[in-house]
Amino acid sequence: MQANMDRIPYLLTPEEMGRADELTIYAGTPGSVLMERAGGKVAAAAQQMVPDGGHILILCGPGNNGGDGFVAARQLDGAGFDVSVLLLCDPARLKGDAAQAFQNMQLPWSQLTEESLSLGLGKAGLVIDALFGAGLDRALEGMALKAVKMLRASKTPVLAVDLPSGLNGATGAALGAVFEAVRTVTFYRRKPGHLLEPGRSYCGIVEVVDIGIRDDVLKDINPKTFANEPFLWAAVFPVPGRRAHKYSRGHALVFGGQLQTTGASRLSAMAALRAGSGLVTMAVPPGALSTYAAHLTAIMVRPLKGEDALARALSDDRLSGCLIGPGYGTGSKTSVDVVSVLAQGRATVLDADALTCFEADTQRLFQAISACNTAGWAENAGATPKPAKVVLTPHEGEFKRLFPDLNVNNRLTAARQAAQASGAVVVLKGPDTVIAAPDGRAAINGNAPPWLATAGSGDVLAGLITGFLAQSVPAFEAAAMGVWCHGEAGSIAGAGLIAEDLPAAVQPVIAGLVAERAG
Ligand SMILES: NC(=O)C1=CN([C@@H]2O[C@H](COP(=O)(O)OP(=O)(O)OC[C@H]3O[C@@H](n4cnc5c(N)ncnc54)[C@H](O)[C@@H]3O)[C@@H](O)[C@H]2O)[C@@H](O)CC1
Ligand SMILES: Nc1ncnc2c1ncn2[C@@H]1O[C@H](COP(=O)(O)OP(=O)(O)O)[C@@H](O)[C@H]1O
Ligand SMILES: [K+]
């Protein structure tokens, strides 16, 4: 249990981190010991950043974050570094472990003022930001706010303790002005704000250090937020056995749009095949059949001809995953077709037009999703609600159309609420894509390079997720592995990529994951 928990990429909200501290203190490790270790790790990081014994300026706030700063100051001084400490508040305001750490410091200090800061910045090679961490509950003001501006102007590198001051650790939101760190040392586990933008950009390189909190505390806390990393879903990553045949690896059906917009769904179909789906068929309008056929090789194409064309296309029992939306058109026919697809009860990805077309009638979509989730289950069988079978992949614009009442500025909470409201796994795309399940689990992705922001890249993502769903991967894990593989493929294809480059770049990603599972 301990070994596994070590590797699960949990993220802890500041409240959960507070609970981890509390449980550790309750189990016999005093808070002062945790602070001593935290400050020691900060000091070690600072030493690496100023190896020539340059001057280190330490800004300390009124809470335990400041306490870590006092410990770091004492240890750096002991190691022969030249440090100066500037305190934001009256020392009489310090409490508990922080007050004790201040007393133990036994070093000269000054009040943080414009003069003292400007004097310090004149000689400092590094600033340690120990003003506020997890306890910040409002925007920086007064001298803390001025300090942000003065530091930015001075361009002195900043090492942040736990979080750059000014950030909300739970949401990654800037509460106002924020310190811009080149490196952030955080304790025990990352917080959502280290991965969610703009937080991630303010943190620089994030280093997680051990301060002696045991993983047993996680059993009590039961965190539901994760970094989207392979360990989260490696156990269900599909690897074909020696006796596999193409049908045993799943059969994905990708719906294609009219002649003017065939590219989007073709990119998706290619990605579904690359994700490992044994077969991929495209169901396309008869008038566009020859265009599709001319551009596809390993992917099969069938025309959607006649009244009950859709039902016939879906009637093959071997189909194990569907995708509808890319390039499909936003007319009323799309929503009718989406409802028909969902009525089959198959694992399905809805992307792009298949989301937008429900803007005026989201309840109809949510009812169809609920029917899809329950299809195939006896009325009173198993747990309620049933596991999600549907994945929605909106970018922020599509998300707002479907969930106009949710606040996309808090992406983690918004994605969770959307998953709960819709009964689907929701992939809220962006530089920090959030994957949320109706059961409350959520993962934040961190490996996507900015050159993925290019036309058609979302179509590839939808196809990857469909390919994993078709191989019977549960919806949350399929979505999470799709997003991660998409990010890796983006890095492999590299700067200058276009969406057409991505499916091929998925191949080494899959090969790497398979090798890791085998090894
Ligand atoms: N035992 C523990 O709990 C440990 C805590 N650690 C450190 O403790 C930090 C959390 O400590 P705290 O909970 O004391 O929180 P902070 O040190 O972040 O600050 C909280 C204090 O600042 C005040 N405050 C909040 N926003 C303000 C604003 N905008 N302007 C002025 N004052 C403001 C609060 O009223 C409170 O007094 C972590 O980030 C971490 O650095 C580490 O020492 C490891 C162990
Ligand atoms: N700045 C960024 N950094 C990393 N990934 C990004 C960034 N901007 C967008 N992406 C990713 O690129 C993809 C774009 O998808 P989408 O908006 O649907 O575009 P399209 O419809 O043109 O395919 C998503 O997977 C998204 O997460
Ligand atoms: K800080």
Give CA–CA dist 394/407, Å, rounded. Answer: 14
Q: What is the pLDDT confidence band of residue 52, given thresholds at 50, 70 and 90?
A: confident
Distance 130 CA to ligand 1 centre (A): 9
Distance 145 CA to ligand 3 centre (A): 13
Rounded mean pLDDT, 490-511: 97
Rounded mean pLDDT, 262-267: 96
Atom of ligand 2 nearest to the CA of 326: 21
Predicted TM-score (pTM) above 0.90: yes
Question: Is 212 marked as binding a ligand?
Answer: no
Distance 454 CA to ligand 2 centre (A): 7
Say whether domain 2-222 belongs to CATH 3.40.50.10260.
yes
Rounded mean pLDDT, 40-58: 92
Q: What is the pLDDT confidence band of residue 57, given thresholds at 50, 70 and 90?
A: very high
What pLDDT, on the 0 to 100 scale, is given for residue 285?
A: 95
Instruction: Out of 46-55, 314-323, 410-419, give the one with best mean pLDDT.
Output: 410-419
Rounded mean pLDDT, 381-395: 88
- The ligand whose atoms approach the alpha carbon of 188 most closely is 1
pLDDT at 67 over 60: yes
Q: How confident is the prediction for the chain on average, in pLDDT?
A: 95
Mind listing the pLDDT tens digit for each residue in 354-371?
999 999 999 999 999 999
pLDDT at 3 over 70: no
Mind listing the pLDDT tens digit for each residue in 10-38?
999 999 999 999 999 999 999 999 999 99
* Beta carbons within 8 Å of 405's beta carbon, 6+ residues apart: none
Structural domain boundaries in the chain: 2-222, 245-518
Question: Is 134 marked as binding a ligand?
Answer: yes
pLDDT at 329 over 60: yes
Mind listing the pLDDT tens digit for each residue in 475-497?
999 999 999 999 999 999 999 99
Question: Is 467 marked as binding a ligand?
Answer: no
Distance 216 CA to ligand 3 centre (A): 27
What pLDDT, on the 0 to 100 scale, is given for residue 482?
A: 98
Higher pLDDT, 112 or 242: 112
pLDDT at 450 over 70: yes
Mind listing the pLDDT tens digit for each residue in 390-441?
999 999 999 999 999 999 999 999 999 999 999 999 999 999 999 999 999 9
Question: Is 14 marked as binding a ligand?
Answer: no
Distance 68 CA to ligand 1 centre (A): 10
Give CA–CA dist 465/268, Å, rounded. Answer: 9
Residue length of the chain: 519
pLDDT at 2 over 60: no
- The ligand whose atoms approach the alpha carbon of 479 most closely is 2
Give which of 296, 245, 244, 249 is closest to 269, Cα–Cα.
296
Distance 187 CA to ligand 3 centre (A): 12
Please name the residue whose Cα sits nearest to atom 25 of ligand 1. 136
CA distances for 336 relative to 211, 216, 306, angstroms = 56, 50, 16
| Residue located via tokens 């095949």 | 273
Rounded mean pLDDT, 233-259: 90
pLDDT at 78 over 70: yes
Q: What is the ipTM of this complex?
A: 0.91
For the sheet containing 348-350, what is the strand order?
10-11, 225-227, 442-444, 434-436, 425-428, 390-392, 348-350, 321-324, 251-255, 279-284, 300-303
Distance 190 CA to ligand 1 centre (A): 16
Please name the residue whose Cα sits nearest to atom 25 of ligand 2. 458
Please name the residue whose Cα sits nearest to atom 42 of ligand 1. 35
Higher pLDDT, 138 or 376: 138
Mind listing the pLDDT tens digit for each residue in 102-149?
999 999 999 999 999 999 999 999 999 999 998 888 999 999 999 999
pLDDT at 384 over 80: no
What pLDDT, on the 0 to 100 scale, is given for residue 6?
A: 74
- The ligand whose atoms approach the alpha carbon of 488 most closely is 2
Fold agreement (2-222, 245-518): no
Q: Is the dihedral of CA 234, 235, 236, 242 positive or negative?
A: positive
Residues with CB under 6 A from ligand 1: 21, 31, 34-35, 38, 61-68, 132-138, 140, 161-162, 187, 211
Please name the residue whose Cα sits nearest to atom 14 of ligand 2. 458
Give which of 303, 309, 278, 306 is closest to 291, Cα–Cα.
303
Give CA–CA dist 23/17, Å, rounded. Answer: 10
Ligand 3 ion: residues within 5 Å (CB): 129, 133, 160-161, 165
The pair of three-digit structure tokens given for residue 227, joined into one six-digit string: 């970094």
Question: Is 28 marked as binding a ligand?
Answer: no
Please name the residue whose Cα sits nearest to atom 22 of ligand 2. 455
Question: Is 78 marked as binding a ligand?
Answer: no
The pair of three-digit structure tokens given for residue 83, joined into one six-digit string: 């440090």
Atom of ligand 1 nearest to the CA of 130: 41
Question: Which CATH number is 245-518's, of 3.40.1190.20, 3.40.470.10, 3.30.460.80, 3.30.420.40?
Answer: 3.40.1190.20
What pLDDT, on the 0 to 100 scale, is given for residue 376?
A: 84
Question: Is 68 marked as binding a ligand?
Answer: yes
Give CA–CA dist 93/324, Å, rounded. Answer: 60
Q: What is the pLDDT confidence band of residue 58, given thresholds at 50, 70 and 90?
A: very high
